[in-house]
A and B are shown apart, each in its own frame.
Chain A
Amino acid sequence: MFLIDAPITGKRQVARGMVVIAMEAADIASCVRAGQFVNLGWSRGPLLRRPFSVYRVDGDRIEVVLKEVGVGTTQLLAMEPGDVVSCLGPLGRGFELKPGPRTICLVSGGLGVAPMPLAAKEAAALGMRVTWVHGARSEAELCSEWDGDEVIWATDDGSRGVKGTAVAAAPDADVVLACGPNRMLSSVAERWPGAMVAVETYMGCGTGVCLGCAVPLKKGGYDRACKEGPVYRASDVDWGALPSHLPYAVTA
């Protein structure tokens, strides 16, 4: 785990309101795995850091993808190349892909694209055929970037690709990975109990200390999204007890 003052090196818009921010963090770039995240803080920012899955790695740089959901992301989106963010990571347990399976299906909803490019890269390196099912409410909100051998688009309003959810549009595969709103992940759990899913929770420290990011488990009790997670076997999570909507707007 590293704590790095990371200069922002670039920004690009990938969908309506969805922006990728690149920063220089060589130590993290060299070891981060798909599904792991970084916890970002910045001066004159909110008190707590904000967690983001690592989206891509390019040399010494890592990228995160975000949308404006509250005061923290608003400030982060206003930063320019050269501005510095404090970057703690890599954190959590990622998808931990292993060799063997021949096909993999990545299912993402909205900002759930975040861990998928790294997952596609790791899966391809393990010789898997990668299909990415890419869902959002409408075409404007679909992230324009994808990786793998095949992409299937799905929109709630049918403005691009299949009309309906990404989960409904997805083919079966040897391995299924999913990320998106917890409501979507709960339907992933019904269709593929063995899918590996990255959950979304509020988070405090990101390092396993504060116990703020509790994930309710089917077997009872809680564990930590930041430490044992954020990736879980879909059937292990008690989806009914995990808030499906995070009321982000923070007036800090």
Chain B
Amino acid sequence: MTLDLSVAVGGVALRGPVMAASGTFGYGTEVPLLERRALGAMVSKGIFLKPRAGTPPPRIAETPSGMLNAIGLQGPGVEALIRDYAPRWAEWDFPVLVNINGESAAEYGELAARLDGVPGVAGFEINISCPNVEQGGLYFGNDPRAAAAVTEAVRKRTNLPVWVKLTPMVSDIGIIARAVESAGADALCAINTFVGMSMDLNAYRPRLSFRTGGLSGPAIRPLAVHLAHQAARAVGIPVVGIGGIARPEDAMEFLVAGCAAVQVGTATFVNPRAIAEVHDGIAAFLAARGLESLADLPRYLPRD
């Protein structure tokens, strides 16, 4: 029996369902001990039009089974990305999506237009869910009209696949998911980090200089499975599950919950081989149950 792990997600053909999540894989050149065979795709660190310094330290704080981060989308800007990284991506045997960010819908559109047609750029993940920037980010992600406006602004400027990464900081993720689908998104990524806070009891102030940070890691996994499932029930386009995946069975939970594929994030910080282990474990899971492809996997996705 040959096992087929390939899957098509919103116009992107993946050889396997496990991707590297934005912000946890740099631009693909930094991760040590990289096993490319296991990568379905990579999503780049979030990029703006212009370079950004990021937030002052401390930027990270460990919490029970998780971490808070407030990096503030430090990055070299789109021109440096095109010059320094895209040419390498063009030679790789897996697609690279660029995580794009802006302070206005127009800026997102500008970024998409600038990157459209650049060899090495296979598609976009619109970040309307970063909790660590003063302008934009989360603001676009928790308002259905703003989320749709950003999606539309990008959709108009590119024919490449457009994915939208959703925030969990909403009362009904289905409303945002549907708004973004109607605006032309090819797939959704659910979810980005939760906004959290932790106090330094010696200094009587927050442990992070930005005060709050995005919570990631196994701590958020059940919350993420639920939200990814809610999003998948709300829309017809594929949903990519993200949140606390460190082991194969974690990924399987998202797939059974209705996701087409998954992204592994924080686990890569701890275990540089996490993506390969998750990929291989999914293959073993399917093989052990006599399933020949992901299409054969039973999903729990009741439609109301």
Within the complex, which residue of A47, A208, A251 is in contact with B217, where a contact is CB–CB below 8 Å?
A47
Tell me whether B202 is interfacial, beta carbon within 8 Å.
yes
- Bound CA span A252–B217, Å: 12
Complex contacts, A220 vs chain B, CB 8 Å: 53
Within the complex, which residue of A215, A227, A250 is in contact with B57, where a contact is CB–CB below 8 Å?
A215
Shortest beta-carbon distance from A225 to chain B in Å: 9
Within the complex, which residue of B55, B65, B200, B269 is in contact with A210, where a contact is CB–CB below 8 Å?
B269
Within the complex, which residue of A41, A201, A209, A214 is in contact with B26, where a contact is CB–CB below 8 Å?
A209
Tell me whether A241 is interfacial, beta carbon within 8 Å.
yes
Complex contacts, B33 vs chain A, CB 8 Å: 1, 3
- Bound CA span A222–B218, Å: 29
Tell me whether A205 is interfacial, beta carbon within 8 Å.
yes
Tell me whether B11 is interfacial, beta carbon within 8 Å.
no
Shortest beta-carbon distance from A247 to chain B in Å: 4
C-beta contact mask, A200-217 vs B, less than 8 Å → 1, else 0?
A: 011111011111111110
Contact between chains at A241 and B269 (CB < 8 Å) = no
Contact between chains at B59 and A212 (CB < 8 Å) = yes
B-facing residues in A180-204 (Cβ within 8 Å): 201-204
Tell me whether B302 is interfacial, beta carbon within 8 Å.
no
Q: Which residue of B lies closest to A217 (CB)?
A: B53
Contact between chains at A202 and B272 (CB < 8 Å) = no
Tell me whether A171 is interfacial, beta carbon within 8 Å.
no
Contact between chains at B53 and A48 (CB < 8 Å) = no
A-facing residues in B185-220 (Cβ within 8 Å): 200-203, 207, 217-218
Tell me whether B8 is interfacial, beta carbon within 8 Å.
no
Complex contacts, A242 vs chain B, CB 8 Å: 57
Contact between chains at A48 and B269 (CB < 8 Å) = yes
Contact between chains at A204 and B273 (CB < 8 Å) = no
Shortest beta-carbon distance from A108 to chain B in Å: 23
Tell me whether B25 is interfacial, beta carbon within 8 Å.
yes
- Bound CA span A46–B23, Å: 21
- Bound CA span A65–B217, Å: 28
Contact between chains at B62 and A47 (CB < 8 Å) = yes
Complex contacts, A210 vs chain B, CB 8 Å: 23-24, 60, 69, 71, 269
Knowing A210-B60, A214-B57, A216-B57, the reply to whether A49 touches B270 (Cβ < 8 A) is: yes
Contact between chains at A252 and B65 (CB < 8 Å) = yes
Is the interface on chain A under 10, 10 to 19, 20 to 34, or 35 or more residues? Answer: 35 or more
Q: Dominant SS at the B interface?
A: loop
Contact between chains at B53 and A3 (CB < 8 Å) = no
Shortest beta-carbon distance from A25 to chain B in Å: 15
Knowing A47-B66, A208-B30, A247-B201, the reply to whether A41 touches B54 (Cβ < 8 A) is: no
Tell me whether B268 is interfacial, beta carbon within 8 Å.
yes
Shortest beta-carbon distance from A224 to chain B in Å: 9
Complex contacts, A1 vs chain B, CB 8 Å: 32-33
Contact between chains at B30 and A207 (CB < 8 Å) = yes
Most buried by B among A210, A215, A243: A210
Contact between chains at A208 and B60 (CB < 8 Å) = no
Contact between chains at A214 and B74 (CB < 8 Å) = yes
Tell me whether A125 is interfacial, beta carbon within 8 Å.
no
Within the complex, which residue of A202, A205, A222 is in contact with B54, where a contact is CB–CB below 8 Å?
A222
Complex contacts, B69 vs chain A, CB 8 Å: 204, 210, 212
Within the complex, which residue of B31, B67, B74, B268 is in contact with A47, where a contact is CB–CB below 8 Å?
B67
Contact between chains at B59 and A209 (CB < 8 Å) = no
Other contacts beyond A47-B218, A222-B56, A252-B64: 10, CB < 8 A? A47-B67, A47-B217, A204-B60, A204-B67, A209-B269, A216-B56, A222-B57, A227-B30, A249-B201, A252-B63
A-B pairs with lowest CB-CB distance, top 10: A212-B60, A205-B269, A247-B200, A208-B30, A1-B32, A214-B57, A211-B71, A209-B26, A221-B53, A209-B30
Q: Offer 16 A-B interface pairs, CB within 8 angstroms, sorted by A.
A: A1-B33, A3-B33, A41-B271, A46-B62, A47-B66, A48-B269, A88-B32, A202-B57, A203-B60, A207-B30, A208-B30, A212-B60, A214-B57, A215-B57, A222-B56, A246-B58
Which residues of B are in contact with A by a Cβ distance under 8 Å? 23-26, 30-33, 53-67, 69, 71, 74, 200-203, 207, 217-218, 266, 268-273
